[in-house]
Structure 1
Amino acid sequence: MSQRISALILDLDDTLIDTRAAMVEAGTLVAKDLWPDADPRRWRGFGERYCFDPQQFYERYARGEIEFMEMRRLRFEETRGHHELADVGDRFSTFETDYWSAFEKSQALFDDTLELLDAADDAGLPMSLVTNSSQLLADMKVRISGLGSRFVSVLTTGTYGIGKPDRRLFDHARTDLGVPAAEILSVGDHLGRDITPAVQLGMQAAWLVRSDSHQSVPDNLDERVQVVATLGEVVALLG
């Protein structure tokens, strides 16, 4: 990138932290406890389906159509029903209690996360974290991962009542960073949520497409978007 980069906006889930792996692991462990007599393949199947959310309840939450807990209950019930797991008692409440403990223990940074954050710190580039996690979840992930002091701000869906891809969230981050939009690099793994709104605001963008992400790059991708396979490649863009 030929333009000056003076600050970063970073996505959290599946960009800095391997959230998918943590969700699958937590969901599998809790399913085993909730349905100990079920086929073990269903435990894993539950964890995977809950994570990948084929009915897109999370997208509805991100658009503000449903509340956070409603999203989670709908997701749980759809996954349970798909795998024909027994509906006895208030298993959702038990799931919620046990899931968060397992999920917290499963948090892990990607191997290249600190490489990028250290490079940005060394270059004196302020960073803002923008995530569609709830404030409680974002705070937990940042704390567990040891990233708490790295960011000028941590903006979540709950901060302003809006979520990505709403451009207003990126504009709030720009204000926090205190630099022109053209000098901000937005980095994330989701084209529609992390990249497109940033480019629409005149920011630079690096779309993270990891080798195991199963994402395909469209032929008509905006030429202003830099596609990278690792966060190490983002370091090279910082100059």
Structure 2
Amino acid sequence: MLDLSRIRAITLDLDDTLWPVWPTIHRAEQVLMDWLTQHAPATAALSCQAEVKQAVRAEINARHADRAHDLSFLRLEAIRALLVQAGDPGHLAEPAFEVFFAERQRVDLFDDALPALAFWSQRYPVVALSNGNADVHRVGIGQHFHASVSAKSLGVAKPDLRIFVAGAQAAGVAPHEVLHIGDDAHADCVGALAAGMQVAWLNREGQDWSHGDTRPHLEVRDLHQLCACWPEYQP
């Protein structure tokens, strides 16, 4: 069970915690394809070949293994590689990526996201802690966040202990005074537990815990259920 008296800050995952990420990514990829069809049709045609697209992405990921934490960089370089392979100008990679990235910020929040954010941000500093490349300000929820720490900005990704420590530092508290909330059992829960945080596992799909005997302090199916731990919460 959570010890509410210990909580002085909240760190919060974004993708699949506040919104479903894959519908957003698929929509952004379609917007990118539409842009390529207009500005780089040979690349658009090449991108329609799933095996080619996957091979290019795999080659970029392998070549830049030291940048595995930077999804924006990997996406940009994969676009550039496809452009070059198709015979289109490589400098189109930057505007193409910007089209993708802008659409990637258009998310459909879960119904429980805004009430929970409003409730917590009135009580604690809330810090976004993400391996992804969503920007809370471009998404339109920045007013609820004290700070954001990303894998890209820090150079390491969850479950690395350092990103959780950085999240606590951004909030101005010690790790044991943080409640971390996230959907990924390994990246969020295992990492935050190792950092000494209290952890709430947002398990919307009812998955089994398969990461040893040390479990999150609380498992919930939605954020309303988590907020209900505070007696004053009114959904």
Counterpart of 2:124 in structure 1 is: 125
Counterpart of 1:26 in structure 2 is: 28
Displacement of 1:163 in angstroms is 2.5
Counterpart of 2:115 in structure 1 is: 115
CA distance in 1 between partners of 2:22 and 2:142 (Å): 21
Is residue 99 of structure 1 aligned with residue 104 of structure 2?
A: no
Counterpart of 2:23 in 1: which secondary structure? helix
Aligned length: 218
Unaligned runs of 5+ in 2: none
Displacement of 1:236 in angstroms is 2.1
The superposition leaves residues 97-151 of structure 1 with CA deviations (integer Å, 9 ceiling, x where unpaired) of 43234334x32322111121122134x1221111123xxx44xx31233322322
Alpha carbons 1:62, 1:163 under 8 Å: kept? no
Letter matched to residue 129 of structure 2:
V
Please identify, of 191-200 and 25-34, the stretch whose mean Cα deviation from structure 2 is larger. 25-34
Counterpart of 1:227 in structure 2 is: 219
Moved over 6 A (4+): 42-46, 56-63
1:163 to 151, 157, 173: 157
Counterpart of 2:191 in structure 1 is: 197
Alpha carbons 1:109, 1:145 under 8 Å: kept? no
Alpha carbons 1:191, 1:207 under 8 Å: kept? yes
Counterpart of 1:15 in 2: which secondary structure? coil
Counterpart of 1:9 in 2: which secondary structure? strand
Is residue 72 of structure 1 aligned with residue 75 of structure 2?
A: yes
Indicate how the Cα distance of structure 1 residues 8 and 75 shifts in structure 2: closer, same or farther if over 3 A, else same.
same
Displacement of 1:154 in angstroms is 0.9
Letter matched to residue 125 of structure 1:
Y
CA distance in 2 between partners of 1:130 and 1:199 (Å): 14
Q: TM-score, normalised by structure 2?
A: 0.71
Displacement of 1:156 in angstroms is 1.6
The superposition leaves residues 67-118 of structure 1 with CA deviations (integer Å, 9 ceiling, x where unpaired) of 655521565589x7xxxxx9352487264243234334x3232211112112
Counterpart of 2:12 in structure 1 is: 10
CA distance in 2 between partners of 1:128 and 1:100 (Å): 22
The superposition leaves residues 35-85 of structure 1 with CA deviations (integer Å, 9 ceiling, x where unpaired) of 599xxxx99996xx98xxx9597799796457655521565589x7xxxxx
Counterpart of 1:172 in structure 2 is: 166
Letter matched to residue 71 of structure 1:
L
Alpha carbons 2:24, 2:104 under 8 Å: kept? yes
Task: Provide the identity percentage.
Answer: 25
Displacement of 1:204 in angstroms is 0.9
CA distance in 2 between partners of 1:62 and 1:117 (Å): 35
Alpha carbons 1:3, 1:183 under 8 Å: kept? no
CA distance in 2 between partners of 1:100 and 1:200 (Å): 32
Matches within 5 A, 1:33-48: 33-35=35-37
Counterpart of 1:194 in 2: which secondary structure? helix
Indicate how the Cα distance of structure 1 residues 190 and 89 shifts in structure 2: closer, same or farther if over 3 A, else same.
same
Alpha carbons 1:63, 1:162 under 8 Å: kept? no
Alpha carbons 1:28, 1:44 under 8 Å: kept? no
Alpha carbons 1:195, 1:207 under 8 Å: kept? yes
Counterpart of 1:144 in structure 2 is: 138
CA distance in 2 between partners of 1:7 and 1:18 (Å): 24
1:206 to 200, 205, 211: 200
CA distance in 1 between partners of 2:141 and 2:35 (Å): 31
Displacement of 1:29 in angstroms is 3.2
CA distance in 1 between partners of 2:142 and 2:185 (Å): 26
